[in-house]
Structure 1
């Protein structure tokens, strides 16, 4: 065996087994964060219009600070939240953007094309609509208020509406939100910074260079990023650039990667040593190795993200959503082109921009939607994208100086968000009613595509049998054996389709086995690899699967590259099938569909033949 083969066979490539953003735990976290944001918004509005309203404004204007010798620094509570704490929010946004473009959804350019272009249109069209109402004057400077969607409220609204099959549209909108955030960050940096001061700006650039070099340190990365981040915040503040962008700059300098073979192997060895001889030194070494096998980007999202979602964003809503809603203020606002520009930009501009761009991309063939996602789903999500809150209110504070016009803008943002939610709810309800969905799991969600699916038999056969299974499931192995008998019985009249549904809790190696089969499929060896995996269900370590790849005639160097370096190619093939299975509420393997209808009886050859015979045209 060549050296590449030997090295690869000793390891085991790792990737997150599923997109974490789609898990139930993540959805629960998102919904809780959105609920806290909504509660803080309501509290702010009620407080600002209560008999104790003066205490609200007094709190926002209260100054806090610190001194050191003759030097003293202070900020109001509102600016402390908006300029200092919100740097952590932009830090998390930067981490997510970096991850998506490096190892996430946006690494697949064909898959990312539609949401990227739709997001760009969702940035430009709302600004154009806003400027149609406010073509000149001080109001025109506030065009940035309408460009951004609030991701927390967006996913919360989707959870409340509960459209049929929401996972695909949720993933589309989250991908779109990444590009939306990039556009908003660029707008803040370029158009909403004060007059630049050269000296602090040069120092800021020098700190950025040092930040990039931090990854070369052997350790102490965290403290280094923290100290340099604070220093960068100060220099940007002094340079006249909005200091919250320090959070973005630090995030972009932090490396992100999928877990690699050698660090994980080292962690396993140290855990084994600790198990054999428990002591504090081995415990520290094992803990450090486990931590270092995960990128700093992912560790920080896990540790800092909840603080941002559950503390900083609710505080931001509390200090920014307070707006006077007396009759005079409301009457003035709804006569103001500023208010109507914001409402129209967010509600109409977002909907037209995102939906129109998606339609155009599909019509021209420049992009395709993910399996199971339709234009009507995108339209409902586009309507919900008009919920602009966090960054919208953030830009209100820095783009508009007069308190009265700030109130008009805030009323516009809040009104637009409510209208966008109502429009999204209506679109999802109407489209679901006009094209009633089938009961979950009773019919095949995604039609068979011979160009994409793994098939055996005549693509034009009158009978179609689809199996969702995994390679570690002994029942799938037996069912597949029975299917050979069924195929022999029907011959050219039957098309058999395999789709992945790795049940990782019961079968911990099934997901990796599915990835290995897809890597083999790239070399035209899917069915041969599947046969090997089924024949060796008790031996599905990566070292074993490399041996099977060699046995079926794969180029092992290419196989190694596909499961490690270019792993998103095989990852998406597996997760697309698994996502469809989850959408259909499948919970066991094998699950079979006969001519598009779920088979709920026994799967022995005789039973399958009887069911298929009844389905003959």
Structure 2
């Protein structure tokens, strides 16, 4: 019998239920992401292809007088909306490090080792295919795993993959995100300008101070984030990194302890009950209930509150819009010779072959060395299946491709490789897991 929300034990409500909500959200997001990518690909190869290009290259401007900034709709998505995406990624990384699966060394070790293999081997494969050519700037493209797509497919395989293995691949993707963020910051910036970077450092110090003061006001964080974005943009580091920095600085703890709030509520409710018994007033009672609700909200850390508020917008708007803006690749004239050229071949091989070899090989080695056991007692076939599935590299891979290749020809070639490698990884990974033995059910 399923546990209802009212009868569920506190541990379930505090730990399991949020995880279930997260996986449901990511599953739906993955499906929407796939539909958006398919729509963009179909649109770019339809009689209305010119309208697709015109829409996302449409010029926009912001400002007044002589201070006017010009940009395209695609740039607004990639540099603006994706900053919010990376802000949520930064907060989720912090949550996992503070209270989640990565909070202890032993829990973090296996997904860290697996992620290291899953980043290093694809990059090496890409470099081997592209060495000496004009595709070398894209060496980091096949390093990222798209968690939304992976969770979406794993949800369709419910009962055939142990929950611990799902948590493992989620933690691995978080380490992937960390690596991708560092790579973007270190290797995909433009000419550095020290004075602006010093300003960004001062703003980061302010963010750390606000974190220690446990600032809860979202408007304060938004203003600081805009200033940091502007400073990094002029400093030569890709401005979306501002989102990550800010996300890592959001307070993970409440300003007040639960005991303080409960004591205050106990005293306050006693006064309210005595007062309303002497002179009942429905309007006053409703106002007091709202006051109690606000005091209980003080117990929710800003980190949790911001994630809950922004995650649906990121999952169901920002990521699909990004996919729509960046997945439209013209396939006219594309044949085996085009697919065999170094850039798409390196991206596809890196995602499909490099990811599975790196993740499965490094994980197997870590288990053999006694660093950790296989998550959830999964079989080697199941471990191999999720390693293949991790070759779905979409959102961050496309993002890095856009940074590596400013010209349309090379960028389209990279997109083609990303789409091909991700598609083959998804199909094969699903097939391996679909025909593996079902996950063991814990004894009741």
TM-score, structure 2 as length reference: 0.89
CA RMSD in angstroms comes to: 2.4
| 1:484-523 matches, cutoff 5 A | none
The structural deviation recorded for 1:103 is 1.2
CA shift for structure 1 position 141: 1.2
Residues 1:303 and 2:309 aligned together: yes
Q: 1:116 Cα deviation (Å)?
A: 1.1
Residue aligning to 2:378: 373
Task: Please list, as runs of the form range in 1=range in 2, the aligned pairs for 1:462-541 lying within 5 A after superposition.
Answer: none
Q: Distance in 1 between matches of 2:433 and 2:294?
A: 48
SS of the residue corresponding to residue 61 of structure 2 reads: strand
1:284-305 superposed Cα distances (whole Å, 9 cap, x missing partner): 5423322221111110110001
* 2:358 paired with 1:353: yes
Is 1:164 the equivalent of 2:167?
A: no
Query: Is the 1:14–1:261 contact (alpha carbons within 8 Å) kept by the matching residues of 2?
Result: no
Q: Does 1:262 align with 2:259?
A: yes
**Partners in 2 of 1:163 and 1:196 — Cα distance?**
50
* Deviation for aligned residue 1:149: 0.4
**3-state DSSP of counterpart to 1:156:** helix
Establish whether residue 73 from structure 1 lines up as the match of residue 59 from structure 2: no
Post-superposition offset of 1:73: 1.7
Partner of 1:247: 243
Contact kept, 8 Å, 1:260 with 1:293, in 2: the verdict is yes
Q: Which has the larger radius of gyration?
A: 1
Report if aligned partners of 1:129, 1:345 keep a CA contact under 8 Å in 2.
yes
Judge conservation of contact 2:115–2:175 (CA < 8 Å) in 1: yes
2:5 corresponds in structure 1 to: none
Aligned partner of 1:100 in structure 2 is 96
Question: Cα distance, 1:74 vs. partner?
Answer: 2.5
Offset, 1:27: 2.8
Aligned to 1:87: 83
Q: Is the 8 A contact 2:162 2:378 kept in 1?
A: no
TM-score normalised by L of structure 1: 0.65
- State the alpha-carbon separation in 2 of the partners of residues 191 and 267 from structure 1: 52
Does 2:411 correspond to 1:414? no
Per the alignment, in what secondary structure is the counterpart of residue 366 of structure 2?
helix
- The reply to whether residue 426 of structure 1 matches residue 431 of structure 2 is yes
The answer on whether the counterparts of 2:126 and 2:346 sit within 8 Å (CA) in structure 1 is yes
Q: Which has the higher helix share?
A: 2
SS at match of 1:333: helix
Greater mean deviation of Cα atoms: 301-310 or 288-297 = 288-297
Structure 2 vs 1, CA of residues 410 and 267 (structure 1 numbering), >3 Å: closer, same or farther? farther
| CA–CA distance in structure 1, aligned partners of residues 188 and 89 of structure 2 | 18
Q: CA deviation at 1:71?
A: 1.4
Provide the residue aligned with 2:111 in structure 1.
Answer: 115
Residue aligning to 1:323 = 329
Structure 2 residue 404 is the aligned partner of structure 1 residue 399: yes
Ranked by relative contact order (alpha carbons within 8 Å, sequence separation 6 or more), the top structure is 2
Q: Distance in 1 between matches of 2:102 and 2:76?
A: 34
- 1:39 maps onto 2:44 in alignment: no
The residue matched to 1:17 in structure 2 has which SS? helix
- Runs of 4+ in structure 1 off by over 4 angstroms are 13-16, 216-220, 277-281
- Inter-partner Cα distance in structure 2 for 1:291 and 1:71: 42
Q: Say yes or no: does 1:177 pair with 2:183.
A: no
Q: Extract unaligned runs of 5+ from structure 1.
A: 1-12, 446-582, 592-617
Matched, 1:312 2:308: no
Separation in 2 of the partners of 1:218 and 1:285? 21
Provide the C-alpha distance between the structure 2 equivalents of 1:57 and 1:263, rounded to a whole number of angstroms: 57
Q: Shift of the alpha carbon at 1:335?
A: 2.7
Cα distance, 1:73–1:279 mapped onto 2, change above 3 Å: farther
Cα 1:218–1:50 change in 2 (3 A) is closer
1:228 maps onto 2:224 in alignment: yes
Instruction: Give the Å deviation of 1:370.
Output: 3.6
Indicate the SS of the match to 1:107.
Answer: coil
Deviations 1:413-435 (A, max 9, x none): 11111100122123223432xxx
Q: SS at 2:384's partner residue?
A: helix
- Structure 1 residue 386 and structure 2 residue 382: aligned? no
Q: Which residue of structure 2 lines up, in the alignment, with residue 134 of structure 1?
A: 130
> Could you tell me which residue of structure 2 aligns to residue 502 of structure 1?
none
1: distance between equivalents of 2:197 and 2:100? 32
Describe the SS at the equivalent of 1:66: strand
Deviation by residue 1:508-545 (Cα, 9 ceiling, x = unmatched): xxxxxxxxxxxxxxxxxxxxxxxxxxxxxxxxxxxxxx
Q: Deviations over 1:308-363 (max 9, x none)?
A: 0011001000100000011x134453131111111111111110111111111111
Q: CA deviation at 1:378?
A: 1.8
- Sort the Cα spacing of 1:388 and 1:52 in 2 relative to 1 into closer, same or farther, 3 A: same
Give 1:135 shift.
1.5
Instruction: Give the Å deviation of 1:266.
Output: 4.8
The one of 151, 158, 162 aligned to 1:155 = 151
